A and B are shown apart, each in its own frame.
Chain A
Amino acid sequence: MELRYYIIRRLLILIPTLFGLILLTFILLRAIPTSDLIASFVSQKANATQRAVEKQQAIAYLGLNQPLPVQFLYYLNDIIHGNLGVMYTGFYTGPVIGGISKFLPYTLELTIATVILSILIAIPLGTYIGARPNSPSDAVGRIFSLGIYAMPVFWLALLAQMVFGKNIGILGSYGLPISGEGYPSTTKVPWIVNNVSEPTHMLLVDALLHGNLTIAYSAFIHLILPVAVLTLSILAGLLRFIRAGMVDTANQEFVKTARAKGVPEKLVLKRHVRKNALLPSVTVIGLLMAGLLGGVVVIEDVFDLRGMGRLTLATITGLNIQFYGVAGTVLFFGIILMITNLIVDVVYAFLDPRIRY
């Protein structure tokens, strides 16, 4: 029951955090010189006086003549009403909020699949090697994780493409698809509108919802390489943490107590060591999630996937910096991170009764 109150308290803390995040993005936004933004409202063909008038109009329209706190209130008001501004890029043109709702689900699909997969692999593997410190299997595990840990994710992605990729890898044309090419989003089915599937915008889920197994299969094999690369990139760190936790916990006094009670060796590991060993790793998962969001931007670019990462890149790589696009995507990445940390904290509290204060 304490856990419930803890969750409620944690949710309440979310409100000031969110406010702080919005304030931070606002300050970031205002720190960029506004001349670029104003210039986009001024027609280049007009003469000097006309340009000056248009400039003044733009300043008034954007509210830049108001004091900063008032500007912030306008910004807050817009965010509350779901208006994050408009962006114009080759990748996406339209309201920022619409772009995020279109491309975020795909990124979520990638990251959730990655997180689940890496946890599913890291916990048993980490428990296994952590229970046998200094054994050959431990040595292999450590070398593997250290090696992967040292590789940048984009390099790993390129390597994976060269080994397993279609047409360029050792598997030839039987390899896995390496880019959005051949991605079935262009297939003519009524539930795919403008390359984005309805209603969840996650192609795999939508295809399964509509019962179209061909598209689902295609969507699935397109996910394999990016998810595998992302998984590897966070698996390595996770594995090292779980192993260290296992070794550390196995030397604790209460493990000795458990053995003194006559608990069989297998159960000692399962019941007493593993749960306590996972506690620090849970926090690490939250931190890795932040790294993962960074990794997703790179991975989507390398694999030419249409997600939040690409949208974010598009806002800053075009001819003009898309102010509203930058602010909106940064805000959303921040919110995702906040939610992940909330989940991590709740899981931690669930596992460790000591911190449910």
Chain B
Amino acid sequence: MIAQEEGIKETQKTNPYVVVKNLVTQFFTSKGIVKALDKVSFEIYPGEIYGLVGESGCGKSVTSTSIMDLIPDPPGRIMGGEIYIDSFNILSDLRSLARIKIRSETDVKIKRSKRANKRHNEILSQIRGNKISMIFQEPFLALNPTMRIGDQIMESILLHNILSISEGIIKRNNINSSDLDKFMKNLNSETDPLRRKKVINNFVSEFGIPEFEESLNSLIENSTDDSYVKTEIINMIQDNKRDIDMKLITEISQYYSLKQQLFQLTLDEIQAERTGETAIRNQKHAQIKSMRSYINNKFFSLRIKLRFAEKHYMSPFRKEARRRAIELLSLVNIAGPEVVVDSYPHELSGGMQQRAMIAMALASNPKMLIADEPTTALDVTTQAQILEIIKDLNELIGMAVLFITHDLAVIAEMCDRVGVMYAGNLVEETSTTEIFNDPKHPYTVGLMNSVPRADKKREKEIRLETIPGTVPNLISPPSGCRFHPRCKFAMDICSLKKPKLVEISPQHKVACFLYSDESEVD
């Protein structure tokens, strides 16, 4: 069973979902430049759980916030590198965002380009929450205290899922006998009751009639006459015909699909800008301009309507979004989602809040979730529940997870692959079993020896080890390998050159001169 799963994961590893290449993030403070990340590179494949582990202040959280491009600016900035999310480099236009003059450690002039930043934020707001989501350490701080849980989830749904919702509404309205024939045919081809249920589930979610799922189930169980079932379905929909202005729905769906195209064009433009193809870039730019003015003209009245009475005109969408929010809340095992959806964050416990956060992160079926120490602020039992939910979602939806923690037990429990970070560097990267059985980097070895292990026989009287010293101040990090001042095996070369992260055995990468002579070229 496990081997089978691994087999599936192995085949998926062809195309990584997130690629981080040479990521450099710095913070400009009055005391100097904090080199928080120094050329961090790793990949995350679809469907895997990737753990990042290290002491506090190692740059784990900075890595995750950099991937979302949520580094608070000022004081922080991503200074270089590439982050590919779903094979689009979100740092393509990094050079155009700001001009930075570094005169000395404490004297840095940053000139931000308003226009480039605006475009950058527009693009990222389409990616964040849609392709990649994030949950945070303290759920009670991470939820807006003045908004209902449901509204916060609905906000996310309405931002990214307007098109799919409107599709459902239109399909429901235009349902005809051929659709039903197809459904009956699909249903009759399946004999397994579970599969039949799945077919019904797909059908109701495709046609936006999820409220009929249960009655449809019982109807099909009790009746064998296809034509009777068909007329019953039609009747059900007719009886519950909602008073929806279909013209408005089609208009809104057109508006949003055009906006989607506009977004794609902007991505193309940036790609062209990056590769330096001026002709293509100019062509795309002109296309964007004409398209934008076309949208502005054609949907002028709609935009006015949405601007001033959004709640009224979007009400069918809000209804559907609310239903989805309740569904999401029950997906993360919240009891009584109908009540929770209308409550405020302060009325929930920490575990419930974190679940609500996860529900919010799942709002538009992202392929990747970043969990930044999601259980640190929770008590142990809740912690186990939250971890289980994340694990389940990973298996159920096949969502990749970047899991950040300093708890090695959690890593052992959750992750497929682990990256060990130290002082802004990735020092070791391998599978979870490898890292516990055969850690290579002296820092990883130190980490492993500092926690009690139940799976290893200990000789009597052996004490837990600690790594001497502390994480260095990253304003003036040690030269060469950043770990050498604390390392038992430090050699002369360690303080002179920085080791490169190299593959010493299949799927096992280490950055240490004990295993390889390769150093990073500056």
Contact = CB atoms under 8 A, between A and B. Distances in A.
Interface of A: 251-254, 256-265, 271-272, 275-276, 279, 351-354
Given A253-B136, A265-B121, A353-B346, A260 B145 contact: no
A253 B128 contact: no
Contacts of A276: 144-146
B144 A254 contact: yes
B144 A261 contact: no
A258 B357 CA distance: 11
29 contacts: A254-B141, A254-B142, A254-B144, A254-B145, A256-B136, A257-B143, A257-B357, A257-B360, A259-B70, A259-B128, A260-B68, A260-B70, A261-B129, A261-B156, A261-B360, A262-B124, A262-B126, A262-B127, A262-B128, A262-B130, A262-B156, A262-B160, A263-B155, A264-B125, A265-B121, A272-B147, A353-B145, A353-B346, A354-B344
Contact of A352 (B70, B126, B146): B146
Given A253-B136, A353-B344, A354-B344, A262 B145 contact: no
A268 to B, nearest CB: 9
Contacts of A263: 125, 129, 155, 159
B402 to A, nearest CB: 13
Contact of A258 (B122, B126, B127, B144): B144
Nearest to B121: A265
Given A257-B357, A262-B125, 11 more contacts: A254-B143, A258-B144, A260-B128, A261-B128, A262-B130, A263-B129, A276-B144, A276-B145, A351-B146, A353-B146, A354-B145
B354 interface: no
A353 B344 CA distance: 7
A213 B179 CA distance: 68
- 3 A-B pairs with the lowest CB-CB distances in the bound complex, closest first: A262-B129, A253-B141, A261-B129
A257 B344 contact: no
Contacts of B128: 259-262
Interface in B249-285: none
A275 B142 contact: no
B134 interface: yes
A352 B346 CA distance: 11
A257 B142 contact: yes
Interface in B141-198: 141-147, 155-156, 159-160
Contacts of B156: 261-262
B444 interface: no
Contact of A260 (B129, B143, B146): B129
Contacts of B468: none
Interface in B97-153: 121-122, 124-130, 133-134, 136, 138, 141-147
A170 B143 CA distance: 55
A260 B134 contact: yes
A252 B133 CA distance: 18
Give chain A's interface secondary structure class.
Answer: helix
A275 B160 contact: no
Contacts of A352: 145-146
A256 B160 CA distance: 18
A260 B70 CA distance: 7
B72 interface: yes
Interface of B: 68, 70, 72, 121-122, 124-130, 133-134, 136, 138, 141-147, 155-156, 159-160, 344, 346, 357, 360, 363
Nearest to A352: B146
A286 to B, nearest CB: 19
Contacts of A353: 145-146, 344, 346
Contacts of A256: 70, 136, 142
A251 B76 CA distance: 13
Best-surrounded residue of A252, A258, A275 (most CB of chain B within 10 A)? A258
A175 B130 CA distance: 59
B389 to A, nearest CB: 18
A269 to B, nearest CB: 12
Contacts of A253: 136, 138, 141-142
A279 B146 CA distance: 10
B352 to A, nearest CB: 16
Nearest to B160: A262
Contacts of A254: 141-145
A201 to B, nearest CB: 37
Nearest to A251: B72
Contact of A354 (B121, B346, B363): B346
Most B CB contacts (10 A, CB to CB) among A257, A258, A264, A276 go to A257
Nearest to B156: A261
Nearest to A278: B146
A275 B130 CA distance: 25
Given A260-B70, A265-B125, A275 B146 contact: yes
A260 B156 CA distance: 10
Nearest to A257: B142
A138 to B, nearest CB: 14
B144 A257 contact: yes
A275 B344 CA distance: 15
Nearest to B117: A265
A96 B136 CA distance: 62
Nearest to A255: B144
Contacts of A272: 144, 147
Nearest to B132: A260
A346 B261 CA distance: 46
Contacts of B145: 254, 276, 352-354
B141 A261 contact: no
A185 B8 CA distance: 89
Nearest to A354: B346
B35 to A, nearest CB: 22
Contacts of A257: 134, 136, 142-144, 357, 360
Contacts of B121: 264-265
Contacts of B133: 260-261
Nearest to A262: B129
B122 A264 contact: yes
A128 to B, nearest CB: 15
Interface centre among B125, B127, B346, B360 (most CB of A within 10 A): B125
Contacts of B122: 264
A252 B345 CA distance: 15
Contacts of B363: 261
A275 B145 CA distance: 10
- With most chain A CB atoms within 10 A of its CB, the pick from B72, B126, B129, B146 is B146
A199 to B, nearest CB: 36
